[in-house]
Chain A
Amino acid sequence: MENLTALSYELRKDVINMIRSGKAGHIGGDMSVIDTLVTLYFKQMNIGPENMDDPDRDRFVMSKGHSVEALYAVLAEKGFFPIEEVIDTFSKFGSKFIGHPNNKLPGIEMNSGSLGHGLPVCVGMALAGKMNHQNYRVYTVMGDGELAEGSVWEGAMSAAHYKLDNLCAVVDRNRLQISGNTEDVMHHDDLHERFRSFGWHVIDVKNGNSIEELDAAFEEAKTVKGKPTVLIANTVKGCGSSVMENKASWHHHVPGDEEYEQIMKDLEERKEAALK
């Protein structure tokens, strides 16, 4: 599909079907982060089933591993595995499609799920690239609630220390976490300043669900030398349908029949609008 915004809405349907089938999943974060994943996998990174053994491939680590359903939908679209298999088996007994990324699956580099691991792991990946004089880039996506993990800041500190300009992190700033508003749970409104003070180049992506804006930000990141870049992607949790948008209770809610019908209708409408 040429139109990536339309593709993003289409892939959201796969996510919804996955979650309905598996009766589980982190639906809100899937919907907020999927545009970042589509931009990375279809515009930015040189990753596909054909080159997963290429030492010069870009690297991606899904630090907010609970949004694995969105990653599955994107990887399936890239051809790593059939989407039907994911939807049929997700979260079911014996399935290889579990509720967090697992590197036994093609296309997934690192196991994640516990928060605060992706950025430090990516520091190692980016360091290896520098040591070997390779040109690949390293990407990770973190949740905003995840930023309360201390290990994130250990990673941030070392990424700047080692001047890892081949590393780009994204914060999926959807402002909600399982207990409610991020600012009530643990405030992060000064996170731009925090990253700057750690020596990072910070890009505020006003609409973090806009593939155009995300793509432009990733392009800017590539021009930054001597320091890592973080994109603060201001997203909408549950983005795609008013049924679930900006509702903390949809962190991991499984849509009922009526909700499902409405969400699928909304997604189709937004997809059609994007195609116009």
Chain B
Amino acid sequence: MSHYAIVVDLDRCIGCHGCEIACKNENEVELGSFWNKVVQVGPFGDYPHLQQYFLPVMCQQCADSPCTHVCPTGASYRDENNVVLVDKEKCIGCKYCMMACPYGVRSWSPSENVVEKCTLCGQLTSVGEQPKCVAACCGSARFYGDLDDPASDASKALAAAGANAVHRLKDVGNAPQTAYILSSKYAAWKEEID
């Protein structure tokens, strides 16, 4: 079994938002929707000794994904690599999945009346390329791959970072797989974000 996901090294993310535009260009994401959004966390601390990081948020590829559980038609599903996807032909636009997602990373497409989300750029990875946000990333902060494969870019980045520097968004029982690297020398990880 594979678990494909993206790992983001927040030590290297410089908050340029290029991944947002790369994603929108590649996937023709409509105005008003983002499949990937960079959130600024901080600055916090005592001026001028501040900390801050940028947190790119996209589908967290949950192992126990609420979105697929609540979908009444099977439009939201996990494929054989555990990638969470939406089959737009089956989507009836009920938006249950958008309400179920703990991270708000699903988008509504007003032109097609369906829910959309990060696909890990399957159209690119299936022909051997990187997801567009990974390829464009100015800080080389993003790593794509199978978390179950120690040889994948994503697994290697996590291994190099060490367990203390690896974080995940708050788990409310959904087991998010997307992982973030943040060293304590740069900033303390914030479990709750405003």
Do A and B associate with each other?
Answer: no
A residues with a Cβ closer than 8 A to B are none
